[in-house]
Amino acid sequence: MRSLEPQAAWTLLHEAIRRRAPLVVLAPGGAAPLAAAWRGAAREAGVAWIEAPGVDASAPRPGEPFGFWLDCAGALDPARPRASWLEPVRRVYSDPCGPMLPDGNAVAFALLGQLSPLLRGPSVLALRGLERATDDDLVVLGFLARALGAAGVVLVVFDEAPRDDAGIERRLSRAGDLPLARIDAPAASPRPAPPPYRGPEGEAAGVALCAAGALHAGVAALSEALAAAPEPHAPGRAEVWLHLAMAALQTHAPEVALRAARSARAAAAVPSVRRRARRVHMAALRQAGQAEALRELGLAAYAEREAAPDAAERWWLHLDAALGCSMLDPEGRHEVLLDVIVAGRDVPEGCRATAHLWKAAHVFVHGRGAASAATLVAERERAAEAAALQERGLAGLEAMGDVTRALFVRARLGATLEIAGRPADAIAHLEVAAERARWCGERALAALATAEAVTTCAALGERARAESLFARERAASSPGERAGEGPRRVLLERRARAHLAIARGAPREARREAEALLAEARGLPPQHAQAAFAECCEAVYLLADAAALEGDGEAARALAGAGLRLAADAGPEDRPRLCARGALRVARLVKWNVRAGDHPA
């Protein structure tokens, strides 16, 4: 975090607005002269200054999910009922059988849609009271800072008093790759430090937090309450354990999720709660790769289908049974069960969307991938089937407001559409996925979606669009941040640069980047073996493109064929895409009389 004088901070802030780049500036809470000076500077620069008071330190609402943002939103639109801001999130997660809770991204996306009309044009959104914000509030802060930054809105946070040694600055830095700056100016009228914020306590408060999407605070509150309970496994606490299990699963704490789901099943006296707890338990087992235990629970769900109390529960039991045989399926039931759900009537939205996505995955995993140009037609037909399923699944997730899952599905859909021969649609989805991944702080996914979009644009000869996509991705983070995101990020950026060189007609530069990509991919550690293999294939294809651009048709055909043979051994997620790219090159190079300077597309 940079520490700046007020004038330097204002210059940085104004530049961020101009570049439409995200920025959060921390300012001392009592610095009334500073706030007044900046309001005047904003007015002179034609920038709107919008101030929201944030959480009222004199009247906190302990246990209210996202209370900080509800106070801010209420200040921007005082006439609107407080409860209505999060109503979209509550409504779409109302299925009593579903295993998913909303999360911070869902809340942030809902707030973004409602706040954006109130923040038009270049603006500064000034917030107060952040010292009482929860970790979930900070997740939303990171999302909104990145999303609003792209629209020319930057955030200034007036911090009344830093907390203990953990500090508000360190907590803010955990909200993702958020550009932060701090003002050195002392507070002009300091206030007494408020007491340290304590998260909401008690089981009921924890369940309410989880149900509203405040998963981090919910896990903490429920864990603390259950640890202090004299009889934590009493039957009345099944819902408490269930919400802890769901929240832990979605906050990537699989061991906590497994323990809590087992406790929920043991404590559940009501059959519907017991079935839902088993559903969450199965999801945790699938994440942990415990195939035998997953199959056992799936068989139990399969046996209960016809005795389900209503149609919605019966469909969810069908999906449970399909999940149970997703890893071990000697009877071949997985695809059959999914087909029944996909074709069914009155299927709950979340159940149907998941079935479409699992069916799409099954189509790819059980397809061998195109091993030659001659089988490209069959591979495209399979990809078209998978893409149609993914499109329907994505529509269901977006109707539910499931932002996080929809983000990853959209990126996969973009790759599928490329294989299916719909490159323009693929680019459109990848472009949206990259942008929203940046909003969510999913830097690795943003880099991957951008690299795939650039690759596809370059193959179509859309140089300007490819360069724009690449520039946007680079502008979203500093060189230091990109270097800290791991070796795959470096490879993806190098691959994009090589494709841009091909699009510019610069074969030597493209070959230099491709050779470096190949060497760096081979040097990746074992945990990145799948990514390394995929990037090796991409590097060989790029070498083929460079040879074709120089007019060496024989070398181009040999390299494209070598890449295609290599792609046939790629992992199931990468193989269809890599084989399709190789098959297209081979088919094109066989028919094409290569001349120096011709674009390989």
CATH of the domain at 59: 3.40.50.300
Q: Indicate whether 54 pLDDT > 90.
A: no
pLDDT digits (tens, 9 = 90+) for 248-268: 999 999 899 999 999 999 999
Q: Which of 330-339, 483-492, 510-519, 523-532 has the least mean pLDDT?
A: 483-492
Burial class (CB in 10 A: 0-12, 13-18, 19+), 45: middle
Distance CA 318, CA 313 (A): 9
Q: Indicate whether 307 pLDDT > 50.
A: yes
Instruction: Quote the pLDDT of residue 156.
Output: 87
Instruction: Quote the pLDDT of residue 92.
Output: 66
Q: Indicate whether 354 pLDDT > 90.
A: yes
Q: Indicate whether 498 pLDDT > 70.
A: yes
The residue among 303 and 482 whose pLDDT is bigger is 303
**Whether residue 511 sits in one domain with residue 366:** yes
Q: Under a CB-based contact definition with an 8 Å cutoff, are residues 534 and 570 in contact?
A: yes
pTM for the structure as a whole? 0.88
Q: Indicate whether 55 pLDDT > 70.
A: no
* Residue 576 included in any domain: yes
Q: Is the dihedral of CA 593, 594, 595, 600 positive or negative?
A: positive
Q: Under a CB-based contact definition with an 8 Å cutoff, are residues 491 and 521 in contact?
A: yes
Instruction: Quote the pLDDT of residue 235.
Output: 83
Q: What totals of helices (H) and strands (E) does the chain contain, helices first?
A: 27, 6
Instruction: Quote the pLDDT of residue 58.
Output: 47
Q: Indicate whether 150 pLDDT > 90.
A: no
Sorted by sequence, the CB contacts under 8 Å of residue 304 that are 6+ apart come out as 275, 317
**Whether residue 233 sits in one domain with residue 137:** no
User: pLDDT band for position 169 (50/70/90)?
Assistant: low
User: pLDDT band for position 484 (50/70/90)?
Assistant: low
Q: Indicate whether 304 pLDDT > 80.
A: yes
Instruction: Quote the pLDDT of residue 53.
Output: 64
| CA triple 116-119-124, angle to 5 deg | 130
**Whether residue 239 sits in one domain with residue 147:** no
User: pLDDT band for position 163 (50/70/90)?
Assistant: very low
Instruction: Quote the pLDDT of residue 52.
Output: 79
User: pLDDT band for position 165 (50/70/90)?
Assistant: very low
| Residue among 329, 313, 320 nearest 285 (CA) | 320
3-state helix, strand, coil in the chain (%, to 5): 70, 5, 25
Q: Indicate whether 369 pLDDT > 70.
A: no
**Whether residue 404 sits in one domain with residue 526:** yes
The pLDDT of 387-398, averaged and rounded, is 95
pLDDT digits (tens, 9 = 90+) for 86-141: 887 876 677 899 999 998 899 999 899 888 888 888 999 988 877 778 888 888 99
Q: Where are the alpha helices (DSSP H) in 289-421?
A: 291-304, 311-324, 334-343, 349-365, 376-400, 403-419
Of the three residues 183, 207, 225, the one that is the final residue of a domain is 183
Distance CA 269, CA 549 (A): 70
**Whether residue 13 sits in one domain with residue 142:** yes
3-state secondary structure at position 127: strand
The letter for the amino acid at 436 is: R
* Residue 72 included in any domain: yes
Q: Under a CB-based contact definition with an 8 Å cutoff, are residues 379 and 363 in contact?
A: no
The pLDDT of 27-44, averaged and rounded, is 82
**C-alpha distances out from residue 143 to 146, 176, 240, 542, Å:** 5, 8, 29, 35
Instruction: Quote the pLDDT of residue 568.
Output: 87
Q: Indicate whether 188 pLDDT > 50.
A: no
Q: Indicate whether 359 pLDDT > 80.
A: yes
Instruction: Quote the pLDDT of residue 511.
Output: 97
CA 425 to chain centre: 20
pLDDT digits (tens, 9 = 90+) for 190-228: 455 444 445 556 899 999 999 999 999 999 999 999 999
| Residue among 187, 141, 191 nearest 6 (CA) | 187
**Whether residue 420 sits in one domain with residue 282:** no
Of the three residues 183, 214, 249, the one that is the final residue of a domain is 183
Instruction: Quote the pLDDT of residue 536.
Output: 96
* % of residues, the chain, pLDDT over 70: 86
User: pLDDT band for position 592 (50/70/90)?
Assistant: low
Instruction: Quote the pLDDT of residue 93.
Output: 74
**Whether residue 251 sits in one domain with residue 119:** no
Q: Indicate whether 485 pLDDT > 70.
A: no
The partner residues of 4 in beta bridges, in order of sequence, read 183
**Whether residue 247 sits in one domain with residue 125:** no
**Whether residue 470 sits in one domain with residue 523:** yes
Q: Which of 166-175, 266-275, 455-464, 570-579 has the least mean pLDDT?
A: 166-175
User: pLDDT band for position 372 (50/70/90)?
Assistant: low
Distance CA 18, CA 46 (A): 11
**Whether residue 464 sits in one domain with residue 364:** yes
Burial class (CB in 10 A: 0-12, 13-18, 19+), 599: middle
Mean pLDDT across the chain, nearest whole number? 86
Q: Indicate whether 176 pLDDT > 90.
A: no
**Whether residue 538 sits in one domain with residue 482:** yes
* Residue 206 included in any domain: yes
Q: Under a CB-based contact definition with an 8 Å cutoff, are residues 34 and 27 in contact?
A: yes
Distance CA 158, CA 29 (A): 4
The pLDDT of 280-294, averaged and rounded, is 95
* Residue 109 included in any domain: yes
The pLDDT of 311-317, averaged and rounded, is 96
Instruction: Quote the pLDDT of residue 27.
Output: 81
Instruction: Quote the pLDDT of residue 497.
Output: 95
Instruction: Quote the pLDDT of residue 242.
Output: 97
* Residue 347 included in any domain: no
Of the three residues 183, 215, 248, the one that is the final residue of a domain is 183
Structure tokens at 503: 């699009």
List, as one string, the DSSP characters of 268-327: --SHHHHHHHHHHHHHHHHHHT-HHHHHHHHHHHHHHGGG-SSHHHHHHHHHHHHHHTSS
Q: Under a CB-based contact definition with an 8 Å cutoff, are residues 176 and 441 in contact?
A: yes
User: pLDDT band for position 185 (50/70/90)?
Assistant: low
Q: Under a CB-based contact definition with an 8 Å cutoff, are residues 570 and 372 in contact?
A: no
* Residue 59 included in any domain: yes
Which residue range(s) make up the domain with 275?
A: 199-288
* Residue 101 included in any domain: yes
| Residue among 108, 92, 88 nearest 100 (CA) | 92
360-395 b/e with 16+ CB inside 10 Å = b? bbbbbeebebbbbbeebeebbebbbbbbbbbbbbbe
**Whether residue 261 sits in one domain with residue 374:** no
* Residue 559 included in any domain: yes
Q: How many domains are contained in the chain?
A: 3
The DSSP symbol for 132 reads G
